[in-house]
Amino acid sequence: MALWKDQYGREQNTPDPAPEKTVATVASVDTPRTPAPAARPAAASDAKESVLAAGLTIEGKIEGSGNVRVAGNFKGDVHVQGNLTIEQGAKITGSVRANTVVIGGELEGNIDAATRVELLQTGVLNGDLKAGSLTVAAGSRMRGRAEFGWDEKGGK
């Protein structure tokens, strides 16, 4: 039951009609989405995700906890306690520190202390990489030094 006033100021007390279903679709036709990683830690899937949409260019610094997905251009450092996904066609210029880094676009800068890095088929990395594990797809490109599989003390 709903109680409201009609356009003439008279109170109405009638049952609610069936709510209309609205469908909101947000997609970019010219920007294909990068497939999400198959296995995600339980804590990472519960975290909120911030998105920098395609067509945007932002300069600054991203810090905090939660996941970040970049589909546009970002100039600056990204230091998050969560996952960073760089979509195909996106570009980040700056250093990156995140739990998991998935590169489908371009990263011009260093990746430091990531647990896992995935370089997808369309991914380009110009910089040094230091990670726990590295997955490289055929067709991806990298220019720089890579250190992976070592613990913090430099031994296995």
31-82 pLDDT, tens digit each: 444 444 444 444 445 668 889 999 999 999 999 999 999 999 999 999 999 9
Residues comprising the chain, all counted: 156
The residues that bridge with 106 in the sheet, in sequence order, are: 91, 124
pLDDT given for residue 153 in this prediction: 57
Residues 118-131 have pLDDT tens digits of 999 999 999 999 99
The domain locations on the chain are 47-144
Q: Are 109 and 92 in contact (CB under 8 A)?
A: yes
Q: Which residues are within 8 A (CB) of 19 and not within 5 positions of it... i.e. 6 or more apart?
A: none
| pLDDT tens readout for residues 100-116 | 999 999 999 999 988 99
Higher per-residue confidence, 5 vs 148 = 148
pLDDT at 25: 35
In eight-state DSSP terms, residue 102 is E
Residue 59 corresponds to which tokens in the numbers above?
A: 């300069």
Predicted local distance difference test score (pLDDT) of residue 1: 45
pLDDT of residue 114: 86
Tell me what pLDDT residue 9 has: 59
**CA 106 to CA 117: how far, in whole Å?**
13
- Alpha-carbon distance of 68 to 78, in angstroms, equals 9
Q: What is the pLDDT of residues 2-18, one digit of tens each?
A: 455 555 655 555 554 44
Q: What are phi and psi of 44, to 5 degrees?
A: -70, -35
pLDDT band at 150 (very low <50, low <70, confident <90, very high): confident
Alpha carbon distance 92, 8 (integer Å) = 57
